[in-house]
Amino acid sequence: MCCVHGIVHEASEEGRLGGWTVKRPRGRRSRTVHDCPDHEDNLILDLAAEVGALLIVSNDTDLLSMSPWRGTPIIEPTAFAAKVDAMRRHTRRRRR
C-alpha cells in the first residue's frame, strides 16, 4: 500500500487535513502517532501506520526529513513517478 499525502479522504482523528475534514470513524482508536510537531503530519503518519503503508509520498519537508519513518520510506512525488516510470520501462523491455 502507498499513502499519498494530500489524497486522504479519511484518517483516524477529527481535524482538518489539506482542506479535507477528517473524522474518526466509530469504534476506532484515537491517534497514536506523536512523532512530528505538526498535527497534520501526525495524521498522515497515523494513517500510514494503521494501513501498514510500504511507502509515503509527500512534498512536506517535515515528513521528508523523517524518512525512513519506522522503516517506511518517505519520498517526493517526482521520485515516486520516476520509480514507476523505470518499472514500466523495465517491464516493457522484458516482454520483447
Provide φ and ψ at 41, rounded to 5°. Answer: -65, -35
Listed by start position, the domains of the chain span 2-95
pLDDT score of 31 more than 50 = yes
8 Å CB contact between 63 and 36: yes
C-alpha count within 13 angstroms, C-beta hemisphere, residue 41 = 17
At 92 the pLDDT is 82
Q: What is the pLDDT of residue 50?
A: 87
Radius of gyration for the alpha carbons in the chain, expressed in angstroms and rounded = 15
Residue 55, classed as helix, strand or coil, is: strand
The region of weakest confidence among 14-18, 24-28, 30-34, 64-68 is 14-18
Distance in angstroms (rounded) separating the CA atoms of residues 88 and 51: 26
pLDDT tens per residue across span 2-24: 445 444 433 334 455 555 555 55
- The residues facing 56 across adjacent strands are 3, 74
* pTM for the model: 0.64
